[in-house]
Amino acid sequence: MVVVGGAWPLLVALTPAADRPWISGTTDNSVLSLIFNYNGFGRVTGQLGGPAGTATAGVFAGAAGPFRLLDASLGGQAGWLVGVAIAGAIVVLVAARARRRDPRTAWVAVVALSFVVTAVLFSVAQGIFHPYYVVLLAPFTAALVGAGVATAIRGGLATSLGGAAMLVAGVVVELVVIGDYASHMHWLKILLPAAGVAAVSLLIATSRRSQAAAILAGVAALLIAPTAWAFDTLGYKTEGTFPAGGPTYANTASFTGGPGGFARRFARGGQGPGLGTLPGGSSPLFGNGNTGGGFFGGGGFPGGRRGGGGGLRAEGVSSDVLAYVRTHGGGTIAVSSQSQAAYSIVHGNADVAGIGGFTGAETDPSVSWLAGEVAAGKIRWVDTSGAGLRGFGGRPGASVALEAAQQACAATAIDGLYDCAGRASALRAVS
């Protein structure tokens, strides 16, 4: 694992900084900073250059807290069986009496502690957190549920107690999760308690075989919600880099302006705490539909094509910009984000450089750096139409350099495109 996983960081570290791109997400151009800070402890303690706890569903997880795994952003993805899993771990541990020689003790220690560590980290993480991260919790949840059910069925007197504890915990947790989705599976609010009461009653008053059947029937009832949620995912087409399960409204409500929607606060130039706005008044997240600026905004992901409205998909540099550049001498076009540049390179074979990191906010290129690239002939054009995330996450990202280009470089007939040929000195004067 160390050899395979460490091969790429080693090659990056051994490559001179002048011969490779800047390490996105870092302030010191170090691959170790990327691994241990921005993509490591920064995800837990919080980091500059990225959003955290900004939405209740969809692209980002909700606010950190002890019940985060059960809220609208993560509950449908991973919270359904958390109650059963926790109770199942306790049932196995009690059945083994925590004896060191009982292999069940070692098993539950490894699996349950893996579950706990993962769940706690996900609950307290202050940095960038996407709902699909909770897929890591699924194997431990499934193992604890299965082991708990099997142990309760075999356990004699513990059958009624262990089975009842698992079913009660499961019903309570699922009702909490369902409560986050007011218009979805509301009929389970009646079915689950009824099934739980019936199953627990049979556990107390019947034979061991009937008790086993009651536990299995109760667990089957608890599987209805996550099963329906999974099948709901098949009912609509999705695009983007943030996969999530469930019905479409559960994954997009925060970004479509629905009830309590995130977009209502930030679309059309709206401004939220600590987010700031872009030149022209567009939203740092959504743009304004005319400029296409913003992380998701009017034209794509991130900071997509002008005049878009295309949602969560990459669009890259507009065809108008590419055509203008090709007919006026060519050269490399600097844009805000790596994602915007990548799309243009892959789909348009264009000479495009993303200078601000993945979203345009992780890397902070200076104006003097941009002037040096212009003087060396490495960058000629600057496209500010997708200049997203000014001030987003507490870092300027590419915005300072792009704003300098707006002041020092020559405006073209294409809105947002600037020609910086011969303007290196003017750029340095801005800095």
* Whether residue 278 has pLDDT greater than 90: no
Could you tell me the residue range of the domain that residue 179 belongs to?
Answer: 68-235
Q: Are residues 94 and 231 in the same domain?
A: yes
More confident residue, 268 or 254: 254
Identify whether 133 is part of a domain.
Answer: yes
Q: Are 344 and 315 in contact (CB under 8 A)?
A: no
Both 108 and 207 in a single domain? yes
What is the reported pLDDT for 51?
A: 53
* Confidence tier at 311 by pLDDT (50, 70, 90): very low
Say if residue 250's pLDDT is above 70: no
Ranking 79-83, 321-325, 332-336, 347-351 by mean pLDDT, the lowest is: 347-351
Please indicate, yes or no, whether residues 117 and 215 belong to a single structural domain of this protein: yes
Predicted pLDDT at 64: 86
Q: Which of 28-37, 219-228, 252-261, 352-361 has the highest mean pLDDT?
A: 219-228
Answer yes or no: do 107 and 213 share one domain.
yes
Mean pLDDT value across residues 350-369: 86
pLDDT band at 272 (very low <50, low <70, confident <90, very high): very low
Ranges 265-279, 294-308, 345-359, 405-419, most confident: 405-419
Q: Are residues 102 and 222 in the same domain?
A: yes
Strand partners for 354: 335
- Give the residue from 77, 129, 52 showing the smallest Cα distance to 244: 77
Residues in the chain: 431
| Residue 228 and residue 327 in one domain | no
Task: Give yes or no for residue 201 having a pLDDT over 50.
Answer: yes
Looking at the structure, do residues 326 and 228 belong to the same domain, yes or no? no
CB 429 within 8 A of CB 383: no
Average pLDDT, the chain: 79
What is residue 244's predicted lDDT score, i.e. its pLDDT?
84
Domain boundary among 165, 200, 235: 235
Q: Are residues 341 and 223 in the same domain?
A: no
Last residue of a domain, one of 171, 203, 235: 235
Asked whether residue 212 is domain-assigned, the answer is yes
Q: Is residue 284 part of a domain?
A: no
Question: What's the domain count of the chain?
Answer: 2
Does any domain span residue 306?
A: no
Question: What gap in Å lies between CA 212 and CA 326, rounded to an integer?
Answer: 73
| β pairing state of 417-419 and 410-411 | antiparallel
Average pLDDT over residues 332-344: 89
* pLDDT score recorded for residue 269: 30
* pLDDT at 343 (0 to 100): 86
pLDDT higher than 80, residue 69: yes
Where a domain ends, among 194, 210, 235?
A: 235
Convert the pLDDT of each residue in 82-116 to its tens digit. 999 999 999 999 988 888 899 999 999 999 999 99
In terms of phi and psi (left: phi > 0; alpha: psi -120 to 50; beta: otherwise), the region of 278 is: beta
What letter represents residue 21's amino acid? P
- Closest by CA to 142, choosing from 226, 228, 69, is 226
pLDDT in tens, 41-58: 888 888 765 554 444 445
Question: How does pLDDT run across 27-46, given as a tens digit for each residue?
Answer: 788 999 889 988 888 888 88
What average pLDDT does range 166-182 have in this prediction?
91
Residue 31 inside a domain? The answer is no
Residue 270 belongs to a domain: no
Whether 220 and 335 map to the same domain: the answer is no
Per the domain annotation, does 175 fall within a domain? yes
Least confident of 30-34, 90-94, 185-189, 403-407: 185-189
Q: Measuring CA to CA, how many Å separate 241 from each of 331, 343, 402?
A: 30, 13, 26
Mean predicted confidence (pLDDT) in 220-237 = 90
Domain shared by 227 and 328, yes or no: no
Q: In this structure, is residue 260 part of a structural domain? A: no
